[in-house]
A and B are shown apart, each in its own frame.
Chain A
């Protein structure tokens, strides 16, 4: 590997970095995203070059991006959190109720409460998974039901309307700073911090170790239970943040808010190269996957495909991505065997 060569010059470092970028799994998906945007723009220039088009392009996937980042972190530990959509729905309604029941509550407090509430729901998932040693798939399938049920019970046929929430809060969902929507800025900041932590910090690397081989991680003395709890709390907290932002962005919240987000989030992570077995992938990939999913949804009608076919395209993308990953993994394994034998 070139990384081991002594005292790399600046030039070779850049060349190495470029090589790694070209080979990275995320690049392929980024290329697909660019392709979709270009194709849609050629067909209808307003897709990118009108102020609304540009804003929507950045704004629409931001909420899913937050959820997908949390989901990717959980999947990296060889778990999955199917309850994120229900957590998002609960915190979105909680946000509305806070503004109605506590007049004059500061916006920052609502954010804090939303994130903490999401984190607590994540903690329930994490505790059940980590202590009862039951697969996350089953636990979070159960809490997907239970959280949504609590939401419906609480909400009933009630609905939060935009008139219930202060204008300064709603502005967060629609306004931009320097042409970039505030929502997108929040999402990107979270993404960068999460990516940095997973790549460079001990805790982040331990998540990968746990996902690669939970038993080995345990034998090695890693605090598996603690890390799993942290991953689930983080995932829940991000879904909570997404819920608050959902309320700000859409203005109306009913009992079905966020239904189906779990599949989009898992799909985004898988498309972005986060292996469902855990232990590999990055939040960058999941984020680009989220952008690709929702951008395709918006681009299809422009490209002349009826939007009924969106879900089929999403499914085909997921299948395509995992087949690609499998092919790449087999190729890599063959190359390693050849290198060993030669």
Chain B
């Protein structure tokens, strides 16, 4: 089956130009632009918004965006293969409810968390099965499971909420590393990000992910297990979403069916903002992290500046649209400038 989004890919796809020196390739990449933008926003906000530079801002900022950061890791891999997973937020809800219901039934948190992780992995595996074995488009499948998993979560718990959790664990979810302002949840995120980064950039499996995104057909002919790779990625996505669900539950000490509704939009926005191409085949681990931080920083700076939190929606949406349109526009500009016979020098700028 040819990939749904690949079929949409325009003729404007560009590739890294390796005739450029390394520093130029790094400096003019999408990731560098997003990281630079994030730093700029942090700088401007620290100078102009009162109380933004305080450590407590950073603490809450990181606590808030932790689920987005976590899920953005597998999501970027999935989008690099040219697929998409819209069901992540529902898996967060489902694992949260699983944890709550089991704990309420007398199971210790540790065991309930393991079951919740298994439920998440299973949910991801169902997605993966429908996409790779049955051969359905991931967009349609995950719209379906978005409703299905959320429905199961809400069905299991109704409008009730489980709020009784062992204090040790709820405190841990909110705790900070030593005397610093950095929450402990950053540690697992950094470890996971490192693992995902190494797997994506330094292993044959990771190179296979890029190959699938560029052309699933060609990847298959060069011996990459396309179906197996995608299946693993969807299962990972379910597993990490369940982890985010456990964190979400413990942080707010509340397991509810409608936990994290709509989170998938923020995750996808962060990933695309971070330079992962929706057509597949391009992106990195660092970009989506920067994208998530950018959205979080903007949101928290605006909230502190007393702008209603609703403007954040407009900014997230506009940023998302602008970032993809800018890519297309730059590519179009380059093809305009490069006439036949002209040297490829001008082609190289500003694209990772």
Q: Which residues of A contact B (CB under 8 A)?
A: 78, 80, 128, 132-135, 137-139, 141-150, 152-153, 156, 214, 255, 263, 266-267, 270, 276-277, 306, 308-316, 318-319, 322-323, 326
Contact = CB atoms under 8 A, between A and B. Distances in A.
B312 A132 contact: no
B143 to A, nearest CB: 6
Contacts of A308: 151, 154-155, 158-159, 257
Interface of B: 4-5, 7-8, 10, 12, 84, 130, 134-137, 139-141, 143-152, 154-155, 158-159, 257, 265, 268-269, 272, 278-279, 308, 310-321, 324-325, 327-329
A132 B150 CA distance: 34
A133 to B, nearest CB: 4
Given A132-B329, A149-B310, A137 B278 contact: yes
Nearest to A153: B310
Given A141-B265, A315-B144, A306 B158 contact: yes
B146 A315 contact: yes
Contacts of A145: 265, 269, 313-314, 316-317, 320
Contacts of A150: 314
A314 B149 CA distance: 10
Given A138-B278, A142-B318, 9 more contacts: A134-B278, A142-B317, A146-B314, A149-B313, A152-B308, A255-B310, A270-B144, A312-B147, A315-B145
A108 to B, nearest CB: 32
20 contacts: A78-B7, A132-B324, A132-B328, A137-B5, A138-B321, A139-B324, A142-B316, A142-B324, A143-B317, A144-B317, A146-B317, A148-B313, A149-B316, A214-B7, A306-B158, A312-B148, A312-B152, A313-B151, A319-B130, A323-B130
B317 to A, nearest CB: 3
A339 to B, nearest CB: 22
A59 to B, nearest CB: 23
Nearest to B137: A276
Interface centre among A78, A137, A153 (most CB of B within 10 A): A137
B84 A137 contact: yes
A323 B134 contact: yes
Contact of A314 (B151, B279, B320): B151
Contacts of B327: 134
A98 B230 CA distance: 51
B314 A153 contact: yes
Contacts of B320: 138, 141-142, 145
Interface centre among A149, A214, A267, A313 (most CB of B within 10 A): A149
Nearest to B138: A276
A134 B328 contact: yes
A311 B8 contact: no
B150 A128 contact: no
Nearest to A150: B314
